[in-house]
Structure 1
């Protein structure tokens, strides 16, 4: 899985990139090698909003697009929340695809031959 990390108003350091790769490793094992993950990080400059660090993830997979967005007071915590949410979405997507494939296979086997 290819991972792109972009930052707006936030510097993306090598340490932060390693953290992202570690957190999204679980997702990478569940999707194909052709999947492409884009992570965008930014800081909202609004003094009234305490959750100013935002992480937004877009995962391009075969047959779809999965997204997650979270905000918190710490950038790493926002990344962790996004990784957890995306892992749940990927698992749910895999279960749905497997169920559809099994339903199609059982429906084709049950039809009488003409």
Structure 2
């Protein structure tokens, strides 16, 4: 997985990079078919009381993009919220991809004809 981490109005420290990497391990553990991930960490300085920390990620998987955004007072809390939301969406996508319980219609008609009772 290619991981790109960038910061807007924020200096990316090695601690932030390591924290994002450690949190994204959970996503890799659940679903390893991720091609690319772009993380953007932003600080909006509206006023000193309303300082907002925003974390967003765009995940590129085969055939799908997932975008998640989270806002909190603390950057680490925003990253935690973002990863929780992303985990739910990735598990939902994984369930859709792996749900092959339904047979194709062309095979269903052949099996239905053979299972009919003799008259």
TM norm structure 2: 0.82
Q: Which runs of 5+ in 2 are unaligned?
A: 112-119
Structure 1 or 2, whichever has the larger Rg, is: 2
What is the aligned-residue RMSD (CA, Å)? 2.0
Q: For residue 28 of structure 1, what is the aligned residue in structure 2?
A: 28
CA gap of 1:111–1:49, structure 2 versus 1, over 3 A, is: farther
Question: Is contact 1:66–1:89 with CA below 8 Å preserved after alignment?
Answer: yes
Q: For residue 11 of structure 1, what is the aligned residue in structure 2?
A: 11
Using the alignment, how far apart are the partners of 1:15 and 1:48 within structure 2? 24
Q: For residue 89 of structure 2, what is the aligned residue in structure 1?
A: 89
Q: Which runs of 5+ in 1 are unaligned?
A: none
Q: For residue 109 of structure 1, what is the aligned residue in structure 2?
A: 107
Q: Between Structure 1 and Structure 2, how many residues are aligned?
A: 111
CA drift at 1:31: 2.7
Deviations 1:22-41 (A, max 9, x none): 11101012333552111001
Question: Is contact 1:31–1:61 with CA below 8 Å preserved after alignment?
Answer: no
